[in-house]
Chain A
């Protein structure tokens, strides 16, 4: 009674673009975290009745996507932070709950997260899956931004969430999303694209002119020998595998190489871009799976800058994306003036994208520049789990509260009212 918790062994499932998190409500870390991108292979199966042959996709959910299989394709059910393709979602949830956590879903109420801009249709599908395929006794769908706010112990906050697919700025008041102030954009793919170009395009910059780096995932490398920095790699590829590698898997693997380089070398200049500050940064050494290794100088700071400045060379294939600065100013312009000081005093950073070095300081500086008279306080947990999985963590907090029991949507209510109850209960 002292802390208001009353656990009913609820499960929390948080499906993100990059990873899916699942665990028990009341825990401080998700029990299982795996890649949302799944692999599938096509199998030829024989219908036992008619004997006709048909093709059937076999899913390789979770981290099995990283295992190379001949002819394995990859797919990601998410698009712009929303679940775009529901076909693999039951498999992903069952992989998390049944396979990894060894739980029997009918015994557990399940809380699922959604981005603040989720559609009614998506909610309905999710409720259907949870009630009809998993036979859960109760279900609730809650907002990642609200949950991130709860995870940092705040009811009113400005949640800045930079994930893999989307960057969003969401004002939360008393645990409710203020939809008019919410703003989001598919910014991270632009950052990724810039990083990709930096690596794969040859440069003639004076410190280290180099040819474009050919990125090869370690699954396709048979052997390699150590080389001096900036020397061409001495690597033997697995030609047998290369023949059977699908384009989608290759793209997934290359994206992962870029992401890893970005995570290791990427940084943001706290005070804003200047060539002098960029050249003053120490270079960072990075070795690719091929053994090719290099000192990366100021170029490693370019992708991070994209979060705050529109790119000079945008990818024409990607939709236009507002920068974080624009998102913040848009949000602040669309909330009540009474609420602004409270929001700026409770800025919550979450999502893997905010883990980039210098991000929180830069956001602080940008906010200070935009709102010079305001007191700004940023809540950015130093613990990577808390920062990356704040949405899950907030769900864990919420679903373990004693006062939350009455908010669960039971199977009975779902049978009776259908989707209306979801819209009414999950505000």
Chain B
């Protein structure tokens, strides 16, 4: 049955012009449907969703066990060991085919002989003669050294030279190292003198010192429990004394810091002070240091706190000051007492305050002058100095005024008295009494202010205590008020 295309071919019509009745050829021939996307979906979206296709991954399953191909082949194979002088062939399982040649033990490379010095007959005659040791015995010693790789403990244990005297480990070491030293000294040396001396030093052995050391060691080993307990006790005692010593030194340093400040010359002054409280903050550290001290070993070196404090290197300091534009002032800036050293602070926090009993009057004077005492806009060093001067001046002015007032008052009283005396000449006693009274008054003059002050204080206290009887808010308010005063 001929298809439409056959008819077209017969009629020699062009094939590429499909008629309307013919179904459209799918474009799949042009661009194949990619793997992993269903036919329906592809006909809907066509080529336009490449990302979808790209993201889709065919699920991969675990590869099947590949038996037979990658199987390791193990063979029972004989091997030679170059460390052996005979032809013994041991066998072991190895990976690889059987037809390969005999392998060599990979452990042969660990067969390293120890380097023991050897000497010839000539060497011996020339350098190594010794009254204590015969040539035969020396030979025996060196053969033992080779046999046991210089393990002197074992050599001394196995040492059995027929007809020889008993030798201990020191004798053996002494002879062996002595022979080595002599050989090094007398043989031509390839390197320089320093290296020769170094090698010589490494072969040094002092039998006498070694014997002494061993005697001490034995003594240490043979201690009785009582001796050990005593030692322990002494050790604890020493530790305690040491701790005490350290504590005293530390306390002394603290006191010095507190009283002498920077002048004490003790390090770590500023870092250890808290600005807000002015209290040393290194308590924790101190505790830890003490803990360390109890833990450290008896033979441990002296800890750093035991070292004498270093004085500050003033020359070095001034140089670094110049370099870093640091200006230092000798005198304390403010009225704050220089008893304790001052930590770093903002100058504005240290604006000088007037003396409390003069404060209200000082403030009034300053207010009259148009200066706010509580708030300094620019608390530079100069300004604060000025403010302080001003306050001192104001205070002295007030003081002066007080004195002047008092003197004037006294003058007035005296004038009144002298007037009265001139009007009515009184009895002697009366005069005396009057004078007494005056004298008393005069003498009481300066202190009267104090009494007044006391009274004043008492009154204030009373008011405070009264208010403290009231509600807490009242107390707080009162406190505030007093503080503002």
Q: Which residues of A contact B (CB under 8 A)?
A: 1, 4, 6-9, 109, 137-138, 173-174, 176, 178-181, 336-340, 371-374, 402-403, 405-406, 408, 410-413, 416, 427
- Closest A-chain residue to B219, C-beta based? A337
Q: A6-B105, A173-B154, A405-B105 are in contact. Are A338 and B217 (CB under 8 A)?
A: yes
Chain B residues with CB under 8 Å of A178's CB are 153-154, 157
- Closest A-chain residue to B107, C-beta based? A402
A337 B88 Cβ-Cβ under 8 A: no
Closest 8 CB pairs of A and B: A406-B83, A410-B88, A402-B107, A8-B90, A337-B217, A176-B154, A178-B157, A372-B225
Chain B residues with CB under 8 Å of A180's CB are 157
Residue B221 is within 8 A (CB to CB) of chain A in the complex: yes
Interchain CA distance A174-B224 in the complex, whole Å = 30
How many residue pairs between the two chains, A and B, have CB atoms under 8 Å in the bound complex? 92
| Most A-side CB within 10 Å, residue of B81, B108, B221 | B221
- Closest B-chain residue to A412, C-beta based? B86
Task: State how many residues of chain B have any CB contact under 8 Å with chain A.
Answer: 34
Interchain CA distance A174-B151 in the complex, whole Å = 8
Residue B317 is within 8 A (CB to CB) of chain A in the complex: no
Which positions 144-168 of chain B face chain A at CB distance < 8 Å?
147-148, 151, 153-154, 156-158
Residue B92 is within 8 A (CB to CB) of chain A in the complex: yes
Interface string of B308-324 (1 = CB under 8 A from A): 00000000000000000
Instruction: Among B84, B151, B220, point to the contact of A406 (Cβ < 8 A).
Output: B84
Chain B residues with CB under 8 Å of A6's CB are 92, 105-107
Chain B residues with CB under 8 Å of A176's CB are 148, 151, 154, 157
- Closest B-chain residue to A413, C-beta based? B86
Interchain CA distance A413-B81 in the complex, whole Å = 15
Which positions 79-95 of chain B face chain A at CB distance < 8 Å?
81, 83-84, 86-88, 90-93
B228 A372 Cβ-Cβ under 8 A: yes
B169 A336 Cβ-Cβ under 8 A: yes
Chain B residues with CB under 8 Å of A1's CB are 106
Interchain CA distance A9-B76 in the complex, whole Å = 11
Q: How far is the CB of A293 from chain B (nearest CB, A)?
A: 45
B228 A373 Cβ-Cβ under 8 A: yes
A405 B83 Cβ-Cβ under 8 A: yes
Q: How far is the CB of B48 from chain A (nearest CB, A)?
A: 58
B90 A138 Cβ-Cβ under 8 A: yes
Q: A372-B225, A403-B110 are in contact. Are A109 and B90 (CB under 8 A)?
A: yes
Which positions 202-232 of chain B face chain A at CB distance < 8 Å?
214, 217-218, 220-221, 223-225, 228
Interface string of B110-121 (1 = CB under 8 A from A): 110000000000
Chain B residues with CB under 8 Å of A402's CB are 105-107
B214 A410 Cβ-Cβ under 8 A: no
- Closest A-chain residue to B159, C-beta based? A180
Q: Which residues of B contact A (CB under 8 A)?
A: 81, 83-84, 86-88, 90-93, 105-108, 110-111, 147-148, 151, 153-154, 156-158, 169, 214, 217-218, 220-221, 223-225, 228
Q: How far is the CB of A328 from chain B (nearest CB, A)?
A: 14
- Closest A-chain residue to B217, C-beta based? A337
Chain A residues with CB under 8 Å of B228's CB are 372-373
| Most A-side CB within 10 Å, residue of B84, B87, B224 | B84
| Most B-side CB within 10 Å, residue of A7, A176, A337, A411 | A337
B220 A373 Cβ-Cβ under 8 A: yes
In the assembled complex, 30 residue pairs joining A and B whose CB atoms fall closer than 8 Å, in A order, are A1-B106, A6-B92, A6-B107, A9-B91, A138-B88, A173-B153, A176-B148, A176-B154, A179-B157, A179-B158, A336-B156, A337-B214, A337-B217, A337-B221, A338-B217, A372-B223, A372-B225, A372-B228, A373-B220, A373-B221, A403-B110, A405-B84, A405-B105, A406-B108, A408-B90, A410-B88, A411-B88, A413-B88, A427-B147, A427-B158
Chain A residues with CB under 8 Å of B93's CB are 7
Interchain CA distance A372-B157 in the complex, whole Å = 26
Chain B residues with CB under 8 Å of A8's CB are 90-92
B90 A405 Cβ-Cβ under 8 A: yes
Q: A8-B92, A9-B91 are in contact. List 4 more A-B contacts (CB 8 A).
A: A8-B91, A173-B153, A173-B154, A178-B157
Chain A residues with CB under 8 Å of B157's CB are 173, 176, 178-181
Q: How far is the CB of A19 from chain B (nearest CB, A)?
A: 29
Chain A residues with CB under 8 Å of B81's CB are 405-406
Q: How far is the CB of A408 from chain B (nearest CB, A)?
A: 7
- Closest B-chain residue to A109, C-beta based? B90
A373 B223 Cβ-Cβ under 8 A: yes
B169 A406 Cβ-Cβ under 8 A: no
Chain B residues with CB under 8 Å of A416's CB are 86
Interchain CA distance A17-B220 in the complex, whole Å = 40
Interchain CA distance A178-B151 in the complex, whole Å = 11
Interchain CA distance A215-B221 in the complex, whole Å = 49
Q: How far is the CB of A171 from chain B (nearest CB, A)?
A: 9
A340 B151 Cβ-Cβ under 8 A: no
Chain B residues with CB under 8 Å of A405's CB are 81, 83-84, 90, 105, 107
Interchain CA distance A9-B228 in the complex, whole Å = 53
Chain B residues with CB under 8 Å of A340's CB are 221
- Closest B-chain residue to A7, C-beta based? B92
Chain B residues with CB under 8 Å of A339's CB are 153
Interchain CA distance A41-B279 in the complex, whole Å = 99
Q: How far is the CB of B415 from chain A (nearest CB, A)?
A: 101
Instruction: Among B86, B218, B220, B224, point to the contact of A410 (Cβ < 8 A).
Output: B86
Chain B residues with CB under 8 Å of A411's CB are 88
Q: How far is the CB of A60 from chain B (nearest CB, A)?
A: 35
- Closest A-chain residue to B154, C-beta based? A176
Interchain CA distance A180-B153 in the complex, whole Å = 11
| Most A-side CB within 10 Å, residue of B154, B214, B220 | B154
Q: How far is the CB of B167 from chain A (nearest CB, A)?
A: 12
- Closest A-chain residue to B84, C-beta based? A406
Q: How far is the CB of A45 from chain B (nearest CB, A)?
A: 40
Interchain CA distance A1-B148 in the complex, whole Å = 26
Chain A residues with CB under 8 Å of B88's CB are 137-138, 408, 410-413
A173 B151 Cβ-Cβ under 8 A: yes
Chain B residues with CB under 8 Å of A7's CB are 92-93
Chain B residues with CB under 8 Å of A413's CB are 86, 88
A412 B107 Cβ-Cβ under 8 A: no
| Most A-side CB within 10 Å, residue of B92, B111, B147 | B92
